[in-house]
Every structure is written in structure tokens, then in C-alpha cells.
Amino acid sequence: MRSCDSVKMVNQLLAGVHIASAAEAMAFGARLNLRTRRIFEIIQHARGYSWMFGNRVPHMLDNDYTPLSAVDIFVKDLGIVSRESSNLRIPLHVSSVAHQLFVSGSASGWGRYDDSAVVKVYETLTGVKVEGRPPMLNKEDVLRSLPVEWPEVPMDDLVSSASHDSKKVLVVLDDDPTGTQTVHDIEVLTEWPVEALTEQFLKLPTCFFILTNSRSMTADKAALLVKDICRNLEAAAKTVPGISYTVVLRGDSTLRGHFPEEADAVVSVLGDMDAWIICPFFLQGGRYTVDDIHYVADSERLIPAGETEFAKDAAFGYTSSNLKQWVEEKTKGRILENQVSSISISLLRKEGPDAVCQLLCSLEKGSVCIVNAASERDMNVFAAGMIQAELQGKRFLCRTAASFVSARIGIKPKPPIRPNDLGLKRNLAGGLIVVGSYVPKTTKQVDELRSQCAQSLRVIEVSVEMISLKSTERDQEISRIVELGNAYIQSGRDTLVVTSRQLITGKTPEESLEINYKVSSALVEIVQRIDSRPRYILAKGGITSSDLATKALEARRAKVMGQALAGVPLWQLGPESRHPGVPYIVFPGNVGDNSALAEVVQNWACPSRSSTKELLLNAEKSGYAVGAFNVYNLEGIEAVIAAAEAEESPAILQVHPSSLKQGGVPLVACCIAAAERASVPITVHYDHGADKHDLLGALEMGFDSVMVDGSHLTLEENILYTKNISSLAHAKGMLVEAELGRLSGTEDGLTVEEYEARFTDIAQAEQFIDETGIDALAVCIGNVHGKYPPSGPNLRLDLLKELRALTMKKGVSLVLHGASGLPHELVKECIDLGARKFNVNTEVRNSYLQSLKKPEKDLVQVMESAKEAMKAVVAEKMRLFGSAGKA
């Protein structure tokens, strides 16, 4: 036999024996009820360590037997060793036993598994599990397996007892702004002098938040900050008779943050508590705690928290998903797993608040208790039991996620907030979206945002390398971003400022925090120097959102209005901030599916301009009329927009076929662009479409509505013509107006003699509406195009009243052409009788022509003078029609 083969046999003997010994040792440890992953960590630094132990045991702990080597290989190799030992008459007791273990594994069907699967022989024989991590579970299966929920808890009464009878206030120290994810109408302080805290206590609120942003600090700095806040709380509470409070350390729902350092800091100032409560359940973020194991929901799976990307955080990483073990891990063994109590879901759902109170009251002073929960009802039951215990004099320090806070104060959820809910007016500035979070979920959400909003979004990527590692290039990079940001926001584009996605970490947690600090400081400076007022601000990531609120926007206090999306808080910053009144959306790094960020941005995008139908429906609801003003050039367009914005009135820009013939598509494009940029509802209407070819062209130009003018045709021809165009326009979402009856007078070169005019007939009008499907009817009741005769207008108001009754029944808006020259009282009577759209042309056009007679120095002054003259007429009509102030 060659020497190399002999050496290989010796090596395989050792390898096989070491693998089998490692499996045996881990099985023994599991039988001793030791934590197998902890055993592995200790043995790595002990004398019993071997290379095979370090290489194969992780496979056993992960229950991952993807073959790198296989059980059957050692059946073969140790079999060769056994036969050779027989030939040489040398006993090999240990390797023979190891060989039989591998044979047993192969016989059990694991021959093609990785050789570390030999541990399964011990697991099968003894019933122990060496696997060092909880398995992933099917979410629906787990939730279905739980007991039925406890009946609804009367939280309002309990919270009232806690907050008013005993003046108990919940004070939430939030290590980043995302902790307000489940509350609304609650105040947030970003500073905590005694005077500010006293002011809050005097209000006797059920709760208020103090934003500490301590997760961005080192543990030592975070502890000092928490001590400072607690000292100020104690001083403030002493000035308000009878006040008491419970401190909640609101932390990340995926277990990141300064624990136990912050809890120790609280105790050092406020004294020992009866118990520390650990409760990371957070429904909106998909965080469940079942059988003491904290899970992160990923679609249909429940993944143990210790197996997620959050557990690999450079500054706050951990390995334990079992919360009892997590406490031992984070306290470095000061508090052992078996010293931690827990409240089970079974207790919450079968025994209710009284049992929770009894358990909490029975804990030894200074205990740690974790809370299992899989629903908001579970949280309510726990909170109710905790309140009962507090009313009996117990003091608790809570380390929780956001759901506990809303349960503890009995707050009821409300739907996500949209811009209209805040009464915000149309704003043409772009929104500012700042992303600093690096968790993989955020990166996926950013990718989806860029994909879904590619046409409307402007993206500025911040080089993290330049702003954190290359000090000489830092200022240049920040200046570049600020210049682009200002330009994009001013142009009305939503602007995404996002850090480059390659995560840069330090060699130690402290170095990683320092890099995070530099990145956050750069983002703060960028937002400070962007002086354009954005339509809204969205900050992605806890540290990012905190620093932007307190440093870049200089907010000292804020009010939580609600959520922009489930788990995504929406703040109203105080009047002292740089942009008071601008909505501030705090988007956590670990909330929502991949499309959640895109959904919020789309919800808060600049609202599309209103339709003509919406304008007329709003006029109907509030009893006013909308002015439709014929425009011929840019000055006319600007005059109508300027008057509408000054009067806060909706308006319609009308383009007549004769003006379209002169101005063409550019005129229509100017109207549409002006309407889109207006801060009030403006639509664009094609007026008097008497020619089918022209009308078909108008349907493709972007008008919001068209007027089909078949008034020169017989009734049957008019119906056929209007019905044809109406079906095409409705397919494009356009409102259709048509005229029945015929007005006399001259408009844009078209003259209808008085003998050709005819009043609208009621019976014909009903037939016309039914057969054409129009949305608005222009009627003739004695109104004329152009100037009225010297004797003045003679309108048939009785006919208008009858037509109003008909159009109301049919759901059609009533329109009057020829509003120029009508006396004010007559116009108001017509509005009272249901006219909802007035066409205005002659008076506006005449004001333009009159302005040209004034001597001006240059063309710019001529344009300005004409614009102001038309604006005055338009504004006066808006006040007359009652539309002023209705935007």
C-alpha cells in the first residue's frame, strides 16, 4: 500500500472520530438542557475544541445537511480503516464505534446527507434536538393553532382610572421617531428641560413621547442621556401635585438598541422597579412572540428574529430568538435565562387581565418578564392587567415596541392620512424623500420606488464613501446634492436623496456607529441647505428621521397626526421649525412590503388636476357657478390663472375653434401646463365644436371636456352628432357639454341672426339628454353671444326653472352662455335657479383690446398691462358667480 493511502486512512480515522465525537458531545449537552448554540460558542475557546467541531457543529445547529461531504463517505472510509486494522491485527475501538454510527445513519436514510447528519442518530435514539435555532414556521398555521382570543377589554375605563384617578402618565422615551407608529393626537418633545416636562405634566395627558435618538449613540452616551431625562422627569413631577408616571423605553421591534444599558440608567435614577417588562410585539411590522420566541413575518413565514438581517446589525447584533435567552445574551449572563419570567399567550387568552395582574404582582422585585403576543387583543389584555397591577402600587419599567404604547393608553386606530385629510391646498413644489436606512428591506423598497415612480421621481445618490471617509470631498458632494435638490423641488419634482447602497462598517460596533453618525450629519446638512420649501418631507430610517426633525428642521416639539400607512407615522412639526405646516412622514426602515415606500410617495404625489365634472359637481353641492373664460394667448391664460389663485376660485380655460385655428396645439399645451401648475382647480375646455373633424382632433389634444355644438342642425341630426362624439369623449374620461336651442349674436366671427335663434324646448331637452348621454346642457332662454341690445337682456327665468327641474332629475349640469353684459342681479337669480357654468368671453376680450390703446414703452409692459386688465374682469366675475373662496 502506498504511503499516501496510509496517511489518508489515518486522517479519515481522525476526521470520522472527531465528527462522531462532536455529534455525541452536542447531543449530551442538549440532554443536559444546555443551550447548544451557547455550548458551541464556549467550546470554540476551550481545550476540547477541534477543527471538525468548529466546522461541522454549525451544520448541526442550523439543521442544514446540504452535503459537502456525506455520511456514506465515512461508511466507506471507516470501513476501509476497519478492514485494514483487521488485517494488521490492531484493535481500533473508537473508530469502530464511530463507523457503526455512520452505518446507522446511512441505514436510516441519511447516507447522502452531509456527514454532520450523524448527529441525527443521537437525536432519534434520545429524542433531544441539537438544532440551535428555532425553525421557520407557517404564519397562518401558527395563528390558527393558538387559543381563541379573550373577549374585548374595556380599555377606555381602565386608562381613565390610571390617568385621571391616579394622574398616571405614560412617558415614552423613544430611541428614534418611529415609535409613534401606532398612535395619533399625541405630542412628541425633542427637548426635555424641566420647564417643558412640567408643562406636559400639567396638561395631564395619558401619554407623551420624548425623542432621545439614543440608538445613534454609544451605550455610554445613551445611558447618560437617559439619566438626564429621568432626573428632569423627577424634578418636573414634583412640581405637579399628585402626578405619577410610568417610563417606557420604546425600542426597535427587531430587538436592536441599548439594552440593558438604558434600563439600568432609568433604575439608577428612579430606583428599583418591581419588574422590567420586555414586549417587542408589533403587528404592523409583522413581529410576533410565540412560546417566548420572537418572530419576524416574511410573507407567509415566521422567521425567528435571530435569523434575520436585523440580528446581524453591526452595532446591535445578537443571536438569540428566544427572548429569555436574548436577555441573558444582552446582559452578558448577569440575568440568566432561567431567571426570566414570561406571560404566555395561553394565559392572555384563557385567563385574561386578572391573571396577568396576579402574575405581575407575584414577581420578585427587580424581575424581568417577557410578554408573548400575536394580536392587538393580546396586547390589550396584557395592558389591562398591567394597569390593574399599577393601581395596586406596582412600578414597572417597560422595554417595548410601538404596539404596547397604543394598547396601554387605549388608543383606537384610524385610517391612513392623505393630503386632503389635512386640508392641504394644491402645492406645486416637489416632495423631499431622504433615505439613510441600510436594512435590506429599505434597499428593496427604494428599488421598487425608483421602478414605479421612474417618470415623476428625481433621484440623487449620496456617496457614503465621500461623506464619511473622504473629508476633502465631503463639502463638494454635499454642495452638488443641495444644488440639484433645490432645482428639482422648485420644478415640482418629488426628489429622492438616497445614500449609496453599499454598507460601510467599522471594525468595531463603536466605529460603525461613528460612520453612521457621519452619514447622518451629512444628510442633516443637506436638508438644512435645501432652502426650497417641499410639499412634504419623508425620512426613511429611525436615526435619519430623528436627526432631520431635530437638527435639520429644528423642531422642538411635534404632534403625531396619525399614519401615512400602517406603521408609518405622520407628524405635524411645531411652529418653531424651519418648515411649519409641512407634513413630516417618519418611515421606519423595517416596515412594509417592497412596494410600501412607493405607495406612500404615490399617495402624497402632487394631486392630478380636477376634472370639469368635479368642478361642476362641487358647484352644484355648494350652490355657485364656475366661470369658463375664453383664452386666445399666453396673457389671457395667465390672467385667468392669476385671478383664480388670487380669489381662491376654480375656473375653466376655454378654447374656441377660431382661437385654436390661430394658436394650434401650442395654445392648448400652454393651457394644460398652466392648469397643472395652478394652485387651484383649473380645467381646459374645447368650446363650440361645430365641426366633426375639428372635434375629433380636439379629443386627442388633452382637453378635460368638450362642447359639442349641433345647435345649427335639426334635432335628429343634433342627437346623432352629439351621441357619436359623446361616446368617444366618455371613453377618454371627458365631460361632454352640448347646446340645445340657439343663441343669437356674434362670437369669434360667427353670427346668428335673431330670427335664427330659438329657445330650448323642454320635451326636446329630455329626449336629447336621454339619447346622447351628455353631462352638461347649454340652454337658450334669451341669452346671447356678444353684446345684448340697448333694451337689455330679456331672459325667460320661468323656462330656466323648468329646465333646472329636468336637469336635476337627469343628473346633468346646467350651462348658460353669453354671461358678458348680464346684470349682476340677473346672474345671481340664474345661479339660484341652478346655472352652474357661465361662459365669459366678450368682456374679457374687450378689456384686453382696451389695454392696447394705452401708450406703453415696450412689449413686456403691453403684455403685463393686458394681463392685469383681463385679470381684473375675471376676478370680478368669480366673485359674482360665488366661486371665490371655493377652491
Cα–Cα distance measured from residue 416 to residue 118, given in angstroms and rounded to the nearest whole number: 54
DSSP designation for 785: B
Query: What dihedral do alpha carbons 191, 196, 198, 203 form, nearest 10°?
Result: -110
Say whether 687 is catalytic.
Answer: yes
Residues 6+ away with beta carbon under 8 Å from 582:
533, 534, 535, 536, 537, 573
Tell me the three-class secondary structure of 589-624, residue by residue: CCCCCCCHHHHHHHHCCCCCCCCHHHHHHHHHHHCC
What number of residues does the chain have?
A: 887
523, 436 in Cβ contact below 8 A? Answer: yes
As to burial, measured by CB atoms within 10 angstroms (0-12 exposed, 13-18 middle, 19+ buried), residue 454 is: exposed
C-alpha 422: how far from chain center: 16
**To 10 degrees, the CA torsion angle through 248, 252, 254, 260?**
-60
C-alpha cell at position 4: 499516501
Pairwise CA distance, residues 69 & 74, whole Å: 9
Cβ-proximal residues to 614 (8 Å cutoff; 6+ apart), any chain: 681
Catalytic residue among 494, 687, 704, 709: 687
Note whether 563 and 603 are within 8 A (CB): no
Q: What gap in Å lies between CA 200 and CA 782, rounded to an integer?
A: 67
Count of H helices and E strands in the chain?
Answer: 32, 29
Q: What is the CA radius of gyration of the chain?
A: 38
Instruction: Please say whether the beta carbons of 813 and 620 come within 8 A.
Output: yes
DSSP conformation class of 787: P
583 and 204 Cβ atoms separated by less than 8 Å: no
- 3-class DSSP state for residue 114? strand
Residue 765 C-beta-side C-alpha neighbours within 13 Å: 31
* Alpha carbons 325 and 319: distance in angstroms, whole number: 9
Q: Which amino acid is at 310?
A: F
**Residue 709 in contact with residue 738, Cβ under 8 Å?**
yes
Kindly give, in sequence order, each residue whose CB lies less than 8 Å from that of residue 842, ignoring residues fewer than 6 positions away. 747, 785, 786, 787, 820, 821
In contact, 739 and 710? CB cutoff 8 Å = yes
Give the helix ranges, DSSP H, for 758-858.
762-772, 797-810, 824-832, 842-851
Is the distance from CB of 817 to CB of 739 less than 8 angstroms?
Answer: yes
Q: Is residue 401 within 8 Å of 279, Cβ to Cβ?
A: yes
Alpha-carbon gap, residue 742 to 813, rounded angstroms: 18
Any bridge partners for residue 527, and if so which? none
What is the layout of strands, in order, in the sheet containing 287-290?
Answer: 137-138, 301-304, 293-298, 287-290
Under 8 Å between Cβ of 180 and 560: yes
What is d(CA 698, CA 420) in angstroms, rounded to the nearest whole number? 32
Give yes or no for a contact between 171 and 247, defined as CB atoms under 8 angstroms apart: yes
Of 133, 130, 132, 131, which is closest to residue 24 (Cα–Cα)?
130
CA distances from 752 to 357, 455, 742 (A): 88, 48, 8
Report the alpha-carbon angle 447-453-459, nearest 5: 65
The residues assigned a catalytic role are 687
